[in-house]
Structure 1
Amino acid sequence: MPIYLCLLECCARLSKFTAMASLSHRQSWSLAVLVAVFPCLLCARADNEAPTISYRTGTSEVRVTFFATDENNRLVQAIDRNDFAVVDGDVVIRDFRSLTRSRETKLDVVVLVDASESVAPRFHAIADQVQRLISRKHSGDDLSIITFSELRPAILCTADCSAATVESKIRSLTPAGATPLFDSLAFSAGYIADRHMPGVRQVLILLSDGNDTISRSSARQALDAVIGTGALLYTINQNKTARDLKGSLALQEMAEATGGRSFSAQDDAADVLEAALADLRASYVVTYPLPSRMAGFHSLRILPKHNMNLRFHCRRGYFYDEDR
């Protein structure tokens, strides 16, 4: 097992004794404990800063859907149980009940389009991207479009969006007003939840600059709502430069927290749709016994065991609710 996985397990054990280290500075082992515990404090800080996730389970088994990419961000098609370990809270899981290919075969795509004043200079290009995305939709996959500006989102079309219908509607929009990004994510999550079907992967593609100016919902509540559906969020950053770091980072963090991916404005929405489909085909489901029945949030990470160039994409955690 890699040294860093061993250290994670040591962090969990040593964290129980951090209070003891402060009892006496005269004890000979105090420095050793401090050196050992300091990396653990960094681990804990990273976990505390992660977004709160509302995926919930009340069963004795945890199921995690994931896919992997290599150092060149290319999908890895073949994964086995010796390639990775799951870190569930402070427990390193290496023995799994099962590892299988995902049985999801179709996509249900919701495209969430920022039509607020902040993206006005790029809105014509955004509309073109949406048009190309519709033209690349695969037969059998569903696609809906939601736009947002001013005080609330609006459904442009549902499931059967045709190129002609969307073109006339989206071209008639004038980007203006404030940006209710978080409210729109929460609204889209409710829309997605009502459409859930077995064997269908739900995907939310967001075209925005990542800046919210008017929502009642917080970023945490919005992300909570999206993760609660099990949908993957793919964001397309509409900031043309690196000046707006806050919005860009928000888009990246939200996408990665769901197990999705983030893209730049130079990436076409149609190509992002193809990427979501490719991710679907390369996905696996790993199951393992619930490591702790402590109610509340359990953080999740999947880490490589041998090939350190692998990156595993999955949701960042779940809530355990004993009553469910």
Structure 2
Amino acid sequence: MRRGGRSIGIVGALVVIGGFLSLGIALAHAREETQARRVRPGHRPAPPDSERPPLPPRQEPPPVSSSEVISLHSDLVLVTVNVLGPRGEWLTGLGPEDFEILEDGVPQRIAFFSGEAGLPLRLVVLVDTSLSVKGRLEFEKQAIVRFFRSVMRPRDLAALIAISTEAILRQGFTEDVAQLVTAVRGLKAEGATALYDAVVMAAEFLASVEGRRAIVLLSDGRDTVSRATLGQALRRVQEVGATVYAINVEEPISANVRELIGETALELLARQTGGEVFSPAQLEELDPIFARVTEQLRTQYVLGFYSTNEARDGAFRRLTVRVKREGVIARAREGYYAPRR
């Protein structure tokens, strides 16, 4: 009986030990599974695909104003517009319902609107400082200083580039008028004229900032040493959507005759971008011209649309901006380059 009882006891002990081993293995597997499911603090594991909600359908964004906090999508095409009234005045107080935009003749829906200089100004002033302007540079500098003091408002940024044998950045973007004035006063006449290179440099700087982009150019329009061509300079300005205001500071050959090549270059840069060319007969006219440029910059509208042409082919697309009022003229850039893939 003792042997039988002892055998039964041994068997029972083995059963108990086996049970503990099985329980330990099960707990170990459970612990490993729990650790495998752990995620870092603050993160939630992604649900299975079958439990994820479907993506919402793409919707066309509603029109927004500049007073709202928005994120400008890279495909949003912005067009700066000035509206000239029947008496030659710059019209203000218009709304998005007063405008229509056509791209290659196809109407586009206005998805963004900013009225009367609602967006901050991003301005680059280019000054020809080649030896050919030495006799009149000091007078020009005084007029530019007065222009900076009158045109700059809170949140605006401006920069200064000198046009000589190469384009030279004299002052990067700043809202400090005193820094701009100091940079202007330090300009000196020297070297040749890399006009087109300077225009390209201005466009590159403007591409890095959001806002109403504008270039004010004081030059006779003649280029002597640029690596870039006029066509390349114009394209880069069109790509960033900047408006060019050109002041032809060349001394007229006679009362009604100017150097044709330079004037044609300035006219092309301004007309294609929605700007204007000014040709003062004498230096004393610079202040009234700068006042007119300031007025245009302060009465600009900015319209934005998402093109119905979804091709990303880099092609040039012609723009037409109209105002739904009699006797008024909308001045805007003539087109833009579509994005590439």
Coarse TM-score class (shorter-chain normalised): 0.5 to 0.7
Tell me which residue corresponds to 2:272.
257
- Kept after mapping to 2: 8 A contact 1:80/1:99: no
Tell me which residue corresponds to 1:145.
160
Structure 1 position 83, deviation (Å): 5.5
Tell me which residue corresponds to 1:297.
316
Structure 1 position 301, deviation (Å): 2.2
Superposition RMSD on alpha carbons, in Å? 3.0
Structure 1 position 313, deviation (Å): 1.7
For 1:255, the aligned partner's letter is A
Moved more, 109-118 or 133-142: 133-142
Kindly indicate whether residue 143 of structure 2 is the aligned counterpart of residue 126 of structure 1: no
Following the alignment from structure 2 to structure 1, what is the Cα–Cα distance between the partners of residues 337 and 286?
34
Tell me which residue corresponds to 1:218.
229
Kindly indicate whether residue 123 of structure 2 is the aligned counterpart of residue 109 of structure 1: yes
Structure 1 position 293, deviation (Å): 3.4
For 2:298, the aligned partner's letter is A
Tell me which residue corresponds to 1:285.
303
Note closer, same or farther for the CA distance 1:289–1:321 as it changes in structure 2 (3 Å cut): closer
- Kept after mapping to 2: 8 A contact 1:235/1:263: yes
- Kept after mapping to 2: 8 A contact 1:178/1:214: yes
Structure 1 position 181, deviation (Å): 0.4
Structure 1 position 168, deviation (Å): 4.2
1:259-292 alpha-carbon deviations (Å, 9 max, x no partner):
2222233242641552243233xx1415364247
Kindly indicate whether residue 186 of structure 2 is the aligned counterpart of residue 166 of structure 1: no
Kindly indicate whether residue 324 of structure 2 is the aligned counterpart of residue 318 of structure 1: no
1:209 to 215, 220, 229: 220
Note closer, same or farther for the CA distance 1:142–1:85 as it changes in structure 2 (3 Å cut): closer
Following the alignment from structure 2 to structure 1, what is the Cα–Cα distance between the partners of residues 101 and 336?
13
- Kept after mapping to 2: 8 A contact 1:131/1:166: no
Note closer, same or farther for the CA distance 1:208–1:73 as it changes in structure 2 (3 Å cut): farther
For 1:227, the aligned partner's letter is Q
1:233-274 alpha-carbon deviations (Å, 9 max, x no partner):
211111343322332232122122222222233242641552
Following the alignment from structure 2 to structure 1, what is the Cα–Cα distance between the partners of residues 184 and 77?
43
- Kept after mapping to 1: 8 A contact 2:96/2:113: no
Kindly indicate whether residue 267 of structure 2 is the aligned counterpart of residue 246 of structure 1: no
Note closer, same or farther for the CA distance 1:101–1:125 as it changes in structure 2 (3 Å cut): same
1:124-161 alpha-carbon deviations (Å, 9 max, x no partner):
221121221233243422222111112x1112223235
Note closer, same or farther for the CA distance 1:183–1:124 as it changes in structure 2 (3 Å cut): same
Tell me which residue corresponds to 2:26.
none
Following the alignment from structure 1 to structure 2, what is the Cα–Cα distance between the partners of residues 84 and 167?
39
Segments ≥4 residues shifted beyond 6 Å:
none
Note closer, same or farther for the CA distance 1:105–1:123 as it changes in structure 2 (3 Å cut): same
Following the alignment from structure 2 to structure 1, what is the Cα–Cα distance between the partners of residues 135 and 240?
33
Tell me which residue corresponds to 1:184.
198
1:66-86 alpha-carbon deviations (Å, 9 max, x no partner):
221134442122446676553
Structure 1 position 185, deviation (Å): 0.6
Q: What's the TM-score once normalised by structure 1's chain length?
A: 0.67
Following the alignment from structure 2 to structure 1, what is the Cα–Cα distance between the partners of residues 153 and 110?
35
For 1:314, the aligned partner's letter is A
Following the alignment from structure 2 to structure 1, what is the Cα–Cα distance between the partners of residues 170 and 112?
39
- Kept after mapping to 1: 8 A contact 2:81/2:332: yes
Tell me which residue corresponds to 1:96.
109
Higher relative contact order (CA 8 A, sep 6+): 1
Following the alignment from structure 2 to structure 1, what is the Cα–Cα distance between the partners of residues 161 and 339?
32
- Kept after mapping to 2: 8 A contact 1:62/1:290: no
Larger Rg: 2
Moved more, 258-267 or 76-85: 76-85
Tell me which residue corresponds to 1:42.
none
For 1:290, the aligned partner's letter is T
Tell me which residue corresponds to 1:70.
85
- Percent identical: 27
- Kept after mapping to 2: 8 A contact 1:294/1:320: yes
How many residue pairs are counted as aligned between the two chains? 254
Following the alignment from structure 1 to structure 2, what is the Cα–Cα distance between the partners of residues 184 and 108?
16
Note closer, same or farther for the CA distance 1:127–1:302 as it changes in structure 2 (3 Å cut): same
